[in-house]
Amino acid sequence: MTLLKGGEIVADEWAAVGDDDPVPAGPAIVSLQRWQGEREELLRRNHPVGVRLASDEASGAPGAPGVIEEISADLDRLGVVVLEFASFTDGRAYSQARLLRERYGFEGEVRAVGNVLRDQYQFMLRCGFDAFEVVDPGKLDGWREAASEIGAWYQPAADRRQSIPALRHAARGRA
Amino acid sequence: MYRYDEFDRDFVAERVEQFRGQVGRRLSGELSEEEFRPLRLLNGLYLQLHAYMLRVVIPYGMLSSRQLRMLAQVARRYDRGYGHFTTRQNIQFNWPKLEEVPDLLADLATVEMHAIQGSGNSIRNVTADQFAGVAADEVEDPRVYAEIVRQWSTLHPEFTFLPRKFKIALTGAGHDRAAVRVHDIGLAMVEDAAGEAGFEVIVGGGLGRTPMIGKTIREFLAKRDLLSYLEAILRIYNQFGRRDNKYKARIKILVHELGAEKFTELVEAEWREIKDGTLELPAEEIERIEAYFADPPYETFEADDAGYLAMLAIDGAFRRWATSNLFPHKRPGYAIVNLSLKPLDGVPGDATAAQMEAAADLADRYGFGEIRITHEQNLVLPYVAQRDLHDLWRALDEIGFATPNIGQVTDIISCPGLDFCSLASARSIPVAQRIGRRFRDLDRQFDIGELHINISGCINACGHHHVGHIGLLGVDRKGEEYYQITLGGSADENASLGEIVGPAVSYDAVVDAIEAVIAAYLEHREPDEPFIETYRRLGAEPFKESVYGKESVHDAA
Ligand code: SF4
């Protein structure tokens, strides 16, 4: 597994910790369950903590407060939120990432894991993901290319890029 | 009509190149078919029984003559010289080669067309009333909002991998020709107490395996809130729609399982968070789009054209066509002209390249260069002066588009069925053709009057059989083609789902069964009562009896 950030392959400082493993020193990513069960101990370590959400957990049951909402109060203590694409055709994490960024103002890393492919890269960037666990590191050019295939988009989203309506408005202002 | 500006042009051009890259990676083997599949679907490209099929989207069914000529050119250059207009106001080409599709799309881009979201689990091409802007009974022109929704939904970063496909339809008229109650979201323009126009929001309608009529979740939505409200609905659906079972993944199932009330609560709560944000539609933007849909430079007529009235009086064949194929126009002296793509022995919705070019020429000569596609798979010239109708009619007759059968028994909506579709259980097109032959007599058709027959080749219901006055659903009975008959469906403002009237009938018997249904109608109708009204008044019994005989009425339920 390779970590892609800012268009570069970077070393992953975060240890992914299984539910039964001891938590090592240094930045550690734990499951939501473990975070909820061992929150105080994890914070006492004085090392950065991240939480990994499975796509089912992150949305929750309809009507129940979503897990994103539940952990929203803790977001300033988390360095990473990991969202999962169980399959690249499962688009729930796009909504979850936007909620983290736009509704709850999360400024840490939002990491995409699972079936993360270059043809979804632009959508992920737009929804606020900024780190990507990629299976095949050999094609970095392809990923860089994918990030710029479309220059301007119609919708405002978490990347805060100017949308086409905003660009039109600005162009009319200049005219 | 809407014209691309530099932003739209760049966007579509970049999209073509992006897809060219994806096709290249598929051809080189870098992408597996499994990985390529959602990418090609997002660009309207299917793999069918015999070949690839490309669905080119026609936003809200509106085309310029220039665009129609390009579709003809595409049909010649990349296909076998014809195209197929669909029930969702799109056009399909059945024989393109994968390696040529990027060039095909680049050709389309020169006339501001594309295939984005022609398929896939995305927000599909937005559809609208085919008579938008010219209908006499319109609150406001829905195309303005259809265009706004089209832009917002195009490669939406959050909603491109939904649980399932997602269809939005709009109408601005009292009489619903856009079937808004059987869409994932239907938007019907209404006025509030102060006379301000906005939208009634209907969610969770749909056909397919589990047909449902949509629920109104908001009686009135202000225009400025249109996009934020749609975004709220889609966000709820994207997170909570079922992904464990393809057949339970449409939003109608979520609405049904949660209950409309709970679903509405979720949407409203989400909407409150985003309603005054960046998606708010400024009046200025609405006006900017409105300008694209301004009326064409009409001539001013005081009354009906005298020459037209005279021709009506003396030319019986013309009169029959005028009565069947014209609709009232909001301007005096003008008519809305329907071009029938349902000739005897034809394939419903098919048009050859030559026919498309001829229709484009006629649109230029008589109709301000504009053509509409209807979900009944016909074409429309929306602004023809009555003065020109007789000449136009003769010209249409020459290209085979003047069959006087709009809305009648031979104006059949049919999916491609077993002849093309890999999912089919039975043939559809040959059944439509056989019904067409049986009822070919124009006097008889005319006497039967308004009657919609819809045929689907399998339970996926692409022929919308549930909302046909008479619906036929192809089923496979131990390798034999059978057809289940439903009666009493309707897709308009009084939307209803057809009821199954008895056991499915065989391929050989299906036309007789339809004739028996119609015989019962003719026997029981009151003066000027259309089929659907007679059915609603009497219920299924007399029709069942006519198809299955007296005894079966009681045990066929
Ligand atoms: S209804 Fe069935 S047979 Fe007809 S086009 Fe749809 S999937 Fe194919």
Q: How far apart are CA B303 and CA B309, in angstroms?
A: 11
CA distance A7 to chain B (A): 18
Structural domain range at position B391: 306-399
Q: Is B471 in the pocket of ligand 1 (CB under 6 A)?
A: no
Asked whether the beta carbons of residue A94 and residue B157 sit closer than 8 angstroms, the reply is yes
Q: How far apart are CA B20 and CA B100, in angstroms?
A: 9
Q: Are B191 and B139 in contact (CB under 8 A)?
A: yes
Q: Is A156 an interface residue toward B (CB < 8 Å)? A: yes
CA distance B468 to chain A (A): 34
Query: ipTM value of the model?
Result: 0.95
Task: Determine the residue of chain A that is closest to B162 in CA distance.
Answer: A91
Q: Is residue B123 part of a domain?
A: no
Q: Is A143 an interface residue toward B (CB < 8 Å)? A: no
CATH number at residue B332: 3.90.480.20
CA distance B10 to chain A (A): 8
Q: Are residues B541 and B490 in the same domain?
A: yes
Q: Hey, which residues does B485 pair with through a beta bridge?
A: B472
Q: Are B168 and B227 in contact (CB under 8 A)?
A: no
**Domain termination residue (choose one: B220, B255, B290):** B290
Q: How far apart are CA B127 and CA B437, in angstroms?
A: 31
Distances (CA, A) of B190 to A112, B219, B275: 43, 9, 20
> How large is the greatest C-alpha to C-alpha distance in chain B, in angstroms?
68
Q: Is residue B425 part of a domain?
A: yes
- B425 Cα to the center of ligand 1, angstroms: 8
Least CB–CB distance from B161: residue in A89, A122, A153: A89
Q: Is residue B165 part of a domain?
A: yes
Task: Tell which residue, B429, B318, B334, B341, has the closest CA to residue B387.
Answer: B334
Eight-state DSSP code of residue A22: P
Q: Name the superfamily (CATH) of residues A2-149.
A: Aldolase class I (3.20.20.70)
Q: How far apart are CA A65 and CA B306, in angstroms?
A: 68
**Domain termination residue (choose one: B227, B259, B290):** B290
Q: Is B415 in the pocket of ligand 1 (CB under 6 A)?
A: yes
Q: Is B457 in the pocket of ligand 1 (CB under 6 A)?
A: yes
Buried b (16+ CB within 10 A) or exposed e, B143-168: bbbbbbbbbbbbbbbbbbbbbbbbbb
DSSP B464-530: -GGGSSEEEEEEEETTEEEEEEEES-B-STT-BPPEE-SS-EETTTHHHHHHHHHHHHHHHPPTT--
Q: Is residue B234 part of a domain?
A: yes
Q: Is A157 an interface residue toward B (CB < 8 Å)? A: yes
Q: Is B416 in the pocket of ligand 1 (CB under 6 A)?
A: yes
Least CB–CB distance from A152: residue in B10, B236, B278: B10
Q: Which amino acid belongs to residue A142?
A: G
Q: Are B489 and B465 in contact (CB under 8 A)?
A: yes
Q: How far apart are CA A5 and CA A14, in angstroms?
A: 13
Predicted model pTM: 0.94
pLDDT tens for chain B, 557 residues long, are 999 999 999 999 999 999 999 999 999 999 998 889 989 999 999 988 778 999 999 999 999 999 999 999 999 999 999 999 998 889 999 889 999 999 999 999 999 999 999 999 999 999 999 999 999 889 999 999 999 999 999 999 999 999 999 999 999 998 999 999 999 999 999 999 999 999 999 999 999 999 999 999 999 999 999 999 999 999 999 999 999 999 999 999 999 999 999 999 999 999 999 999 999 999 999 999 999 999 999 999 999 999 999 999 999 999 999 999 999 999 999 999 999 999 999 999 999 999 999 999 999 999 999 999 999 999 999 999 999 999 999 999 999 999 999 999 999 999 999 988 889 999 999 999 999 999 999 999 999 999 999 999 999 999 999 999 999 999 999 999 999 999 999 998 899 999 999 999 999 999 999 999 999 999 999 999 999 999 999 999 999 999 998 755 444 33
Q: How far apart are CA B189 and CA B182, in angstroms?
A: 16
> In chain B, what is the straight-line distance between the N-terminal and C-terminal CA atoms, in Å?
50
- B457 Cα to the center of ligand 1, angstroms: 5
Task: Tell which residue, B260, B266, B209, B215, has the closest CA to residue B462.
Answer: B209
- pLDDT tens digits, one per residue of B423-433: 999 999 999 99
Asked whether the beta carbons of residue A165 and residue B17 sit closer than 8 angstroms, the reply is no
What residue segments make up the domains of chain A, in order of their start? 2-149
Q: Is B148 an interface residue toward A (CB < 8 Å)? A: no
Q: Are A131 and A109 in contact (CB under 8 A)?
A: yes
| Cα pseudo-dihedral A121, A123, A124, A125, rounded to 10 | 90
